[in-house]
Structure formats: C-alpha cells, structure tokens
C-alpha cells in the first residue's frame, strides 16, 4: 500500500501546499481521498493518470476538500472515462447533483454513482480488495473519518476534526494515523486540532498505534512544525511525520 499526499494545506493559499487530497495505491489501483483545489494539478507530478481514478472518498463537503472533484470528472470525460463512484457523508448526493447540474454539457455524458455513508458503515468499494470503515469526526458539518484495511496494512484518515473519541476508537491498533493538525499549540480553536489537543486525547486513550502523520496545516503552523513533532513524540510506536505535498509513505 502506497500513500501519496497530493495536498496538505487548507483554503488559504500557501507556497508548496495545495488543498486536501490523499491518493492511496492498493495493488496498483488508485483510491482518492478528498479532492480540494490544486489536487488535480498534482496528478502528473505524482505519476498518476487521472483516467485511472474512478473511486473517491470525501470526508466532508467544504470547498478545500471537494473543489477539484468536478474538474476531475470533466478531465476524465474529455478522455472518454465517464464512470465514477463517490462516497461521502450525508448531503453528498444533493451537493454533487447541484454543482454538476450547472454544466449540462457534462451532465448527460457521465455516469457518476454517489453513495452516502453513515458513521459505523463498513464497505468494500467495487474493484478493491480492502475494507473501509467510517466514523463521525467532530467538525462544523457532517464529516467522516475513514479506516482503510488491506492485506498489506491499514491506516486512518481523520478528515477535519477536533480530536474526538470516535476517531480514536477507529484508530486503535492501526499502522498509521493521518490526523489533521491545523494550528499550533496555544491556539484556541474549535472544529480543528492542535498538537496539544491531539496529545491530550492520545494520552487519555493510551492506545496502541503505529506512526502518526500530521497534515492540513494553516499558515499559522509555519515555523511550529517541529514543536508539534516534539509534543507528540512517544504517543505512537512509530514516527511522528509532517506531511508535505507529493510525499509518499509505504505500509
């Protein structure tokens, strides 16, 4: 299993970071998790052929996680790839049909299946040899964290969230926890995570976990990344990793 971080930033533009997107290769088949602005442009640099991507998981519907999804559908359509499956939280079907409905010239030419998920759902996407479980994250809109389990490893992707019990339960004994860390220690914030609030939750759980990879950095985190690593050191059996655009991890 290979994980490529296509975008590790947020809605505010930053040099070197586009918005949220993670590509997972499962036996050479790509699974895209979130598709924020700038993610599609990272495909060539990551060696990903966009027409090979036909399955997308959405954590939630904020623009910095979905803005490049319609452009991906169009790019595939222009090259004759018309089918896609999109999984997401409550509201995904209405959002997608509304946005795509503004482009009638694409609407009639594509076959997109939107599957809405509820927390606790377990499923295997068509064409994949893996199991995916979702849990409710703590954000300002319905948001899902995902656990992807395959023969060669498993990881959890938190989406946007405050540190919360449901996501921690999902991450027990996983090889890798990909968790947002939007702001530095000392920032008072809801709906998002700081190194201190994540450390407090991990300490409360005292759970077995592998490596922890931090992502979804606001500009305020610049210069504070190493502080985050130091604060979280020792809470996983593996490394504390700072995600960068186009960084690859293997499980």
Give the pLDDT confidence score for residue 73 in this predicted structure.
98
pLDDT at 38: 98
Cβ–Cβ < 8 Å for 249, 238: no
- Relative to beta strand 211-215, strand 240-242 is parallel
Does this model's pTM top 0.85? My answer is yes
Q: How confident is the model at residue 208 (pLDDT cuts 50, 70, 90)?
A: confident
pLDDT for position 153 = 95
Check whether 207 has a pLDDT greater than 90.
no
Tens of pLDDT, residues 14-49? 999 999 999 999 988 999 999 999 999 999 999 999
pLDDT score at 241: 98
Could you tell me what percent of the chain has a pLDDT over 90?
96
Nearest to 160 by CA among 136, 180, 133, 190: 180
Question: Which residues have a Cβ under 8 Å from the Cβ of 105 and sit 6 or more positions away?
Answer: none
List the catalytic residues: 64
Q: What domains can you pick out in the chain, each with its CATH number?
A: 2-250 (3.60.15.10)
Q: What is the pLDDT of residue 185?
A: 95
pLDDT the model gives residue 133: 98
pLDDT at residue 100 tops 90: yes
Q: Is the pLDDT of residue 110 over 90?
A: yes
């Amino acid at each position: 299993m290979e994980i490529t971080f296509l975008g590790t930033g947020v809605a505010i533009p930053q040099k070197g970071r586009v918005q949220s997107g993670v590509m997972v290769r499962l036996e050479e088949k790509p699974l895209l998790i979130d598709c924020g602005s700038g993610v599609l442009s990272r495909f060539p640099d990551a060696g990903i052929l966009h027409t090979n991507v036909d399955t997308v998981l959405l954590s939630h519907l904020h623009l910095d996680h979905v803005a490049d999804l319609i452009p991906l559908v169009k790019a595939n359509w222009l090259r004759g790839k018309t089918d896609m499956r999109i999984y997401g939280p409550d509201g995904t079907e209405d959002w997608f049909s509304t946005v795509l409905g503004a482009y009638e010239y694409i609407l009639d030419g594509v076959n997109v299946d939107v599957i809405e998920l509820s927390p606790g759902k377990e499923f295997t996407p068509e064409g994949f040899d893996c199991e995916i479980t979702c849990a409710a994250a703590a954000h300002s809109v319905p948001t899902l964290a995902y656990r992807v389990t395959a023969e060669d490893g498993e990881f959890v992707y938190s989406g946007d969230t405050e540190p919360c019990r449901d996501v921690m339960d999902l991450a027990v004994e996983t090889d890798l926890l990909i968790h947002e860390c939007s702001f530095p220690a000392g920032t008072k914030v809801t709906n998002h995570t700081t190194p201190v609030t994540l450390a407090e939750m991990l300490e409360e759980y005292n759970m077995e976990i592998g490596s922890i990879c931090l992502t979804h950095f606001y500009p305020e985190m610049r210069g504070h990344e190493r502080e985050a690593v130091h604060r979280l050191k020792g809470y996983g059996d593996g490394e504390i990793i700072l995600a960068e655009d186009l960084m690859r991890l293997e499980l």
